[in-house]
Amino acid sequence: MPRGNEAQCKVHYKGKSDDFIIFVDSAQAVRDWKNDKTVALATVVSGWKVFVTHKHGNHGILDGASKGQLEGEFGTSKDDDVFKQIIENGSIVESEEHGRQGDKNISQGPRMGH
């Protein structure tokens, strides 16, 4: 997972019963894989976990998808098959995470009245 100000790329799949998200290395890697299926899926996918957002689109709390949810939506819970379906039929979402903000140590110097 990216930290700080690194770009984050994910693929959002709107299913019949829920929304599914997987994290990928880059949008270009997804496009390359779609054009050439001989590219290893491992060079595209980042994290090998399918997340579910409970019908909140590509936002909200991400929970790990259960085997039952995957089988109900995709007809299989086999990782490779599920990832392929999500990448082929999902939409790429790129965003940039903002670094952590706020005071790091409020007891330093003039920030705190003594």
Q: Is 78 inside any structural domain? A: yes
Q: Is 37 inside any structural domain? A: yes
Residue of 45, 56, 42 whose CA lies nearest to 22 = 45
Q: Is 22 inside any structural domain? A: yes
| Triad 27, 9, 73: Cα angle to 5° | 95
Domain that holds residue 53: 9-94
Provide the residue-wise pLDDT of the chain in tens; the chain has 114 residues: 445 556 789 999 998 989 999 999 999 999 999 999 888 898 999 888 999 988 877 877 889 999 999 999 999 999 899 999 999 999 999 876 555 556 566 666 665 555
Q: What is the pLDDT of residue 98?
A: 56
| Triad 1, 14, 81: Cα angle to 5° | 70
Q: What is the CATH number of the domain that holds 81?
A: 3.30.1250.10
Q: What is the pTM of this model?
A: 0.76
| Amino acid in position 54 | H
Residues 8 and 55: their CA atoms lie apart, in Å, by: 21
Q: What is the pLDDT of residue 60?
A: 78
Q: How many domains does the chain have?
A: 1
β-pair partners for 20: 13, 52
